[in-house]
Amino acid sequence: MALVERSLLGPGPSNTYPEATAGLAAPLLGHLDPDFLAMLDETGNRLRAVWGTENLRTLPLSGTGSIGMEAAFVNFVRPGDVVVVAVNGLFGERMCDVADRYGAEVVRVDHPWGQPVDVQRVLDAHPSPALVAAVHAETSTGARSDLKHLGTALRERDERTLLLADCVTSIGGEEIALDDWGVDIAYAGTQKCLGVAPGLAPFTVSERAWQRRVERPTTWYLDLGLIGNYVTGGSSGGRAYHHTAPTAMVASLHAGLGRILDEGMPAVAARHREAGAALQDGLREMGLELFASEGHRLSQLTSVVVPEGVNSGDVRKRLLTDYDIEIGGGAGQYANSVWRIGLMGHNARLDRVEMLLGALKRVLGR
């Protein structure tokens, strides 16, 4: 049967960097092979570079992006802990669900979707929460929040509160400085701006957060103490087997990150900005309205209001069947009234912009 080749211009996964594809198909290594362990160490170094952190505990978890969210709450929240969650889209909503399952006293700070997080409202929500959680780049709406502002304000107020950030859609697409911003715990996914297939969740923890982790969390698979003994070595210095690491995916992530760092993170970020601006200009020229709040729009993921009288699903279906182009519908209540168009990683290119604009113009008859 013929293989289908799509242009993945939705909210992720996106088409992978050629280096990442080659990494996936390279001869498989065992999870205890010294060559694999060296590659895993280097993957940690590369993640530190794109994330702007010196955190020793920086590693890819063996699951898709959402497993990073789960790992954060199960390892750092105890029943009864006050957790303030800034909710400005689907992934903030999900954080509330996950935190609640682990017994947190969740304080929601709701925002209209498409808006960035209001730092002052988050601060005002509780005087001394154990944890504040926010999404850097909301995949569901295409809005960016100012983590630097939030982190700085939290550190100034209180040395106790930890800051947790969802970086699923920001990592590898824009410059991030977790340490400067005061982020303690962050997770991400591989399938968006890192240009790697879905299947790993990059994760990082600061030393001060590490000291406050739950000693024996309910989860075995995501027990960071056990995983840490494999990834960074145990107290005796040796590496203890935990679970079989997804070695092909790690090799692919290693290669994708290598490609990004060869190009240089500032150049990669500029490429995303340029592609995003060209797309957003083109959409406006077609008379379409952008959904996320101006001044807070992501370059890597653009949300567009579906014009009145247009059936969202029909357009997406025609793009897929006639042009092999995938774009996303909206999330939650915006499922049929918003489209999401991603230009992430390898797709942050002007050729993709023209392809998409041309196809969309034909389909909409504009």
Q: Of 154 and 325, which has the nearer Cβ to its own copies?
A: 325
> Taking CB under 8 A as the rule, does residue 245 contact its own copies?
yes
Strands 82-87 and 105-110 come out as parallel
User: Which positions from 324 to 353 touch its own copies by CB under 8 A, shown as an x/- string?
Assistant: --x---------------------------
Q: Of 177 and 248, which has the nearer Cβ to its own copies?
A: 248
* Binding-site member from 30, 127, 234, 313 for its own copies (CB under 8 A): 30
Angle between helices 312-323 and 350-364 (to 10 degrees): 120
Please check if 318 is assigned to a binding site. Answer: no
Give the HSE-up count for residue 268: Cα atoms under 13 Å, Cβ half-sphere: 26
Question: Smallest Cα–Cα separation from 255: which of 15, 17, 12?
Answer: 17
Residue ranges of E strands in the chain: 7-8, 57-61, 82-87, 105-110, 131-135, 137-138, 143-144, 162-166, 185-187, 201-205, 301-305, 325-326, 328-329, 338-342
Q: Of 104 and 153, which has the nearer Cβ to its own copies?
A: 104
Give me the least distance between CB of 162 and its own copies, in Å please.
20
Question: Over the Cα atoms of the chain, what is R_g?
Answer: 20
Residues 6 or more apart in contact with residue 282 via CB below 8 angstroms = 353, 357
Task: Let me know: does 141 contact 169? Beta carbons within 8 Å.
Answer: no
* Binding-site member from 40, 47, 69, 163 for its own copies (CB under 8 A): 69
348: its two tokens: 């942050």
> Taking CB under 8 A as the rule, does residue 323 contact its own copies?
no
> Taking CB under 8 A as the rule, does residue 199 contact its own copies?
yes
Strands 201-205 and 57-61 come out as antiparallel
> Taking CB under 8 A as the rule, does residue 308 contact its own copies?
no
Q: Of 128 and 321, which has the nearer Cβ to its own copies?
A: 321
> Taking CB under 8 A as the rule, does residue 62 contact its own copies?
yes
Residues annotated in a binding site for substrate: 340
Write out the residues near its own copies by the rule CB under 8 A. 3-6, 8, 10, 12-13, 15-16, 21-22, 24-31, 33-35, 62-67, 69-70, 74, 94, 97-98, 101-102, 189, 191, 197-199, 216-221, 243-249, 320, 326
